Amino acid sequence: MSVLAETPRGFFISHEDAINEAVRGLAIKADPDFFAVKTPFRMDLEAAAKANDKTPRGRRKRNVSGDPFLEEKKIVSSFLEELKDGFSFKSLPESEVIRENNRSAREAVIKFETRSSTFEIKRGRNESSEAIMEKDFVLPANCEYIQDNLSSSHQDFKKFSSFDVIVVDPPWTNKHIKRRKGYEMTQNEDLENTLVAILSRCENSLVAIWAPPSKRHREAARSWLRKSGFHVTVRLIWAKVTQSGEFVVDLDKSHKAPFEFVFVGERQKSDERDFVVCSVPSGFHSHKPPLNRVLNALFDNRCEKGRCLELYGRYLAAGWTTLGNQCLKFQHKSFFIPSDR
């Protein structure tokens, strides 16, 4: 079960379990090394210094003056406190594990990213109720994909209006992230032109837009929903933690935060609510967990009852349509290992 725990404030989910549920029946599983996040990510020299630190490794009080995420930290901390009654994290890592600095996860990611593979298949679907292997890719049950750029120059946007749930994971610009092979970042103005053209036609849809910590990008996501005629009714805070429950980056990092956000819009206006979605992430940059279980819990099983679409997606989900130029990225056979290993 990918939802490991739930409180009134949010959900603790397993991204790894969600992937494995989607490929059940194929005798494979996601390589667990991808999710072997045992300590906060640091530079190797920082990790070595931390491993040699003789002071206690519990969370230290920091100067919170001007902290842009003070509110989010309080919300997530309250959620983690609520979890203690029915959920247990692993023990804090020993010095040697801190010194290794998530080496197995980092090496697994590098190996995966450097493989030579081309995504020549442009579109396809699995109409069966079981996951299948098609050529080099794993297709979950009842899924469809369109491997293409989402551009206002060639898409018929009317076709998107029939979807009941639309999740958007925009390829945001990020000056701290070097360009990756196949990862094309898009300026906010271009994203706005495309997404407002699409979403404004979706009269009956529930729309969820992922956004990184950047204030500019968070405000843009809200703006696109507003310009498309939606009201933000839920803000999800994706809190990324290690297997021991520590945040995946030290909280004193000035240009990083262990949070990303999802702004959920509806046509009907109501008071905005905050919920936490907490998980151990993979070692890949901004590899998002599926939101179907969370959206089902908050919005009366909308994903289960209706047609679902993810735009700019990098993975496939059972029962969903995914459109994006990297939609097969995490479906390649090299992402998986035999389930008996």
- Whose structure tokens read 């600095």? 101
pTM of the predicted model, to two decimals?
A: 0.92
Using CA atoms, how far apart are residues 110 and 113, in angstroms rounded to an integer? 5
The answer to whether residue 59 is domain-embedded is no
How many structural domains does the chain have?
Answer: 1
The predicted pLDDT at position 56 comes to: 44
Ordered mean pLDDT values, 10 residues apiece, the chain (341 residues)? 90 97 95 97 92 60 67 90 84 95 97 75 91 94 91 66 94 70 72 92 95 95 97 98 92 77 97 97 94 96 95 96 93 94 74
The answer to whether residue 35 is domain-embedded is yes
The answer to whether residue 328 is domain-embedded is yes
- Whose structure tokens read 């995946």? 248
Using CA atoms, how far apart are residues 167 and 183, in angstroms rounded to an integer? 19
- Whose structure tokens read 């697994």? 108
The answer to whether residue 58 is domain-embedded is no
Provide the residue range defining the domain that includes 177: 3-43+70-115+123-338
Task: Read off the CATH number of the domain in which 279 is found.
Answer: 3.40.50
The answer to whether residue 50 is domain-embedded is no
